[in-house]
Amino acid sequence: MAKTIEIQTAQQVVLSYDLASSGARVVSTLMDVFIQVLLLVVLGFGLGGTLLGGWLGFVVFTFYQLGCETLFNGRSPGKMVAGIRVMRTDGAALGFTDCFLRWVLRPLDITFSGGALALFLVLGSEKRQRLGDMMAGTAVVNRKYGLHYRFADLQRLHQSRNQEEVLWPQLRHIEEKHILLVKNTLFAAENYTTRAYEAALDACAIQMAGLLELEEVPANKRGFLQRVVDDYIVLTR
């Protein structure tokens, strides 16, 4: 049975992730090692054993994991293939310092021990963390997550909003799956700043405005969608 970890966002939304299995992490590591070796071979042939080739090879081999996880929000090519990623356990955005702490302890966890120490800690710890994860406050999880609201958080939200007017009472008749889609899109756009997610926000705002029979789509689409989610919670919980 998969172990899970719950991460609460600033919007009082709890995301439930399955922790990555040791098998997925091994596959990820082997895939990344293969890619590193392939890059070293390409550099070796392309630069013919020159000093520049040696330095580039050193940079690729040494900083591969740090660079990938920093640039791709906790993912390396191997992790992408395995369908896993690194996240902070407190719900905050993954930063360079977190990736650096995982990277600087990687030789002890994996390289010098042949991966034995990392495997021992992953199998024995509650959140399947190797030493680098423990120091950085991170965990490796499957990319897909479940979305739900804690009852206590809903009560607090309702109490904080019970004096405010609900802008769209007709939200009571909107299917929950539409609201969950909006919430998923808001969370994704907040954590992955790409044009694709901004386009998804625009599409969600247009569709939601149509469902609510609004004359026009509000200019602040992100704020509009967040208010839709908040009003829906107040009306239906």
Identify the pLDDT of residue 13: 57
The tally of domains found in the chain comes to 2
> Among candidates 36, 33, 37, 53, which has minimal Cα distance to 45?
53
Range of the domain at 197: 150-236
> Average pLDDT of 45-57?
76
Report residue 144's pLDDT band, with 50, 70 and 90 as the boundaries. low
pLDDT in tens, 1-47: 557 887 765 555 566 788 999 899 999 999 999 999 998 888 877 77
Last residue of a domain, one of 110, 144, 178: 144
> Average pLDDT of 62-67?
93
- For residues 128 and 25, state if they share a domain: yes
Last residue of a domain, one of 91, 120, 144: 144
- For residues 222 and 120, state if they share a domain: no
pLDDT in tens, 82-124: 999 999 988 788 899 999 999 999 999 988 888 889 889 998 8
- Whether the predicted model's global pTM rises above the 0.85 cut: no
- For residues 174 and 137, state if they share a domain: no
